[in-house]
Amino acid sequence: MNIRELYDIKGKTAIVTGGGRGLGEQIALAYAEAGANIVVCSRKVEACQEVSERLEKLGVRSMALQCDVSNVEDIQRVVEKTVEEFGTIDILVNNSGATWAAPALEMEAKHWDKVMDVNVKGVFLFSQAVGKIMVEQGSGKIINIASIAGYGGQDPKVMDTIGYTTSKGAVITFTQDLAVKLAPFNVHVNAIAPGFFPTKIAKGLLDHSGEKILERTPAGRFGSDVDMKGPALFLASNASDYVFGHVLVVDGGTKAAVQ
């Protein structure tokens, strides 16, 4: 394959959870620009519908579906409708996420459970459902959206979100373990660990701690509305065919810097 062929995903089918806004929307747009058919799903189907209509204007097929990623029945319905409409599933991006800010010793169990249900259980359930199809067809790309916050402890003055950091650490380990399990079937499981992007889920944090975060970011800026496109396309394409269980950090140098 030449380099254009390695990055070609034209005609592939991708599911992007949480695709109605933020990083999910950016990734869905990247795949549509590269010619893939896109299913965007989240609890708020109206936002997904708006994105889906934009994607179709790029000349690809798209579908918006309602889905609570912590609900097995919702996931199965999305998987079934996707296969019915497009024939198969080539790419899955587990992007749906939740967070809750609270001091570690005061966080209520119900808020902990909410974060874990979306960020960990949802990744497991969707990967399991789609993974069965990918194993049967002998190919597939699963991309989990982790976070640099999942690599260790965070200063509570900057990030007091122990449920979120714990969940993203779990996503990193889950990615590596599932990659080992599925590699013999030519199913690639990798992750992206973003730094700080001005998305809706990060707004409260950036409003509170944005200046401190920028001081610790060598690039001196937050992620842009295109910075996830290249990494997401790489892990979805044949260019990453010998990459299994990798966590691609996209953070402006934050993790690399000595804090």
Q: Which residues pair with 245 in a beta bridge?
A: none
* Distance of alpha carbon 216 from alpha carbon 157, whole angstroms: 14
**How do beta strands 62-66 and 37-42 pair?**
parallel
Listed in sequence order, the DSSP H helices in 117-227 are 122-137, 162-182, 203-215
Residue carrying the six token digits 């990247």: 30
* Distance of alpha carbon 242 from alpha carbon 244, whole angstroms: 6
Is 164 a residue of the active site?
A: yes
Instruction: Tell which residue, 121, 168, 173, 171, has the closest CA to residue 148.
Output: 168
Q: Are 1 and 53 in contact (CB under 8 A)?
A: no
Residues marked active site are found at: 164
